[in-house]
Amino acid sequence: MSGADARLCDRIGGGRALALIDGNSFYCSCERVFDARLARVPVIVLSNNDGCAIARTAEAKALGIKMGDPYFKIRGLCEAQGVRVFSSNYTLYGDMSARINAIYRDATPDVEVYSIDESFLDLTAFMRRDRVALARDIRATVRAWTGIPTCVGIGPTKTLAKLANHIAKTVPELDGVCDLTEPAAYEHWLCRIHVGELWGVGRASLPKLEALGIDTVADLRDIDPRPVRKALTVVGERMIHELRGVSCLGLELVPARRKGCAVTRSFSGRVTERAELEQAVAAHATRGRVRQ
């Protein structure tokens, strides 16, 4: 092993350990908790005002329903295939999310709630050999106490934790947990995952990376950062460092104050009564304040 390889190995296995835990098909799983008959049937949840599909169970994905599909386009398919369709219920999802994060905080006080169904946990204080067992324990507890299935990815940086989560979700043999702070797993997976699966690589940046000859995540890790910085700015360069185990994205334990907030609604029909308008404006303004 060269000196550079040894240093990389040290950073991967001997540095920080962040876990990214996320709820599988989260909104659909929340609906399933309250109706056992939904357990094995395809389920989707629609966006505000029932516009598009924003959550799909594995069974719904297998029918070809894509994220963001407008409901009017898939209504026929849903009816023919017996897909159970739900309007979104953010009060329910927010409540389930709070319960799940309370379970995470029992394991470690350092939790960043990244989105309604994703949290980063700092597991650095745990021995490496105990981390997978801990992750399995947290998964089992969340499942038992809330009914929500989860996957756990562990890595020395946020980017690697997110990648580990993707691997945990897509490789059934891993049983929902992937630990990339394990140097052998890190070596094994990075050269097998396409760079397009990486957090932050989107439709705009993928062709630029491919033009540089990058195919796998390992290719990106090993490339000279300068041309990547040119093509993808400092964001691309940061990705390379994160893949090498150098943390560029810290854990945000205190949520940033929101700069703006909107609760938008429209009326279902023409409103001609002043009292009705006043009542609606007051109700929506109150909701906006509560969310902020």
Q: Which of 22, 31, 182, 242 binds Mg ion (CB under 5 A)?
A: 22
Residue 143 C-beta: closest distance to Mg ion, Å: 14
Q: Count of residues binding Mg ion (CB under 5 A)?
A: 4
Greatest Cα pair distance in the chain: 78
Residue 22 C-beta: closest distance to Mg ion, Å: 4
> Which one of 31, 59, 112, 118 is the catalytic residue?
118
Does 26 participate in binding Mg ion (rule CB under 5 A)?
yes
Nearer to Mg ion, 22 or 179 (CB): 22
Q: Stretches 19-27, 125-133, 240-248, 250-258: which one binds Mg ion (CB under 5 A)?
A: 19-27
CB atoms within 10 A of CB 37: 8
The alpha carbon of 204 is separated from its chain's Cα centroid by a whole number of angstroms, namely 20
Is 245 in contact with 12 (CB distance < 8 Å)? yes
Nearer to Mg ion, 26 or 189 (CB): 26
Tokens of 107: 């394991």
Q: Stretches 22-30, 150-158, 216-224, 243-251: which one binds Mg ion (CB under 5 A)?
A: 22-30
Nearer to Mg ion, 26 or 120 (CB): 26
Does 31 participate in binding Mg ion (rule CB under 5 A)?
no
Q: Which residue is nearest to Mg ion (CB)?
A: 22
Nearest to 198 by CA among 217, 170, 179: 217
Residue with the two structure tokens 């799940």: 100
Residue 45 C-beta: closest distance to Mg ion, Å: 12
Residue 28 C-beta: closest distance to Mg ion, Å: 10
Residues 125, 102: Cα–Cα separation, whole Å:
19
- The type of residue at 246 is V
Per the annotation, the verdict on 118 as an active-site residue is: yes
Residues 71, 46: Cα–Cα separation, whole Å:
8
Q: Name residues contacting Mg ion, limited to 104-143 (CB under 5 A).
A: 117
Nearer to Mg ion, 93 or 186 (CB): 93
Nearest to 142 by CA among 89, 88, 106, 113: 106
Residue 269 C-beta: closest distance to Mg ion, Å: 36
Does 93 participate in binding Mg ion (rule CB under 5 A)?
no
Residues 171, 240: Cα–Cα separation, whole Å:
24
Residues 93, 98: Cα–Cα separation, whole Å:
9
Does 237 participate in binding Mg ion (rule CB under 5 A)?
no
Tokens of 129: 């050999």
Tokens of 125: 């204080």
Residues taking part in catalysis = 118
Residues that bind Mg ion (CB under 5 A): 22-23, 26, 117
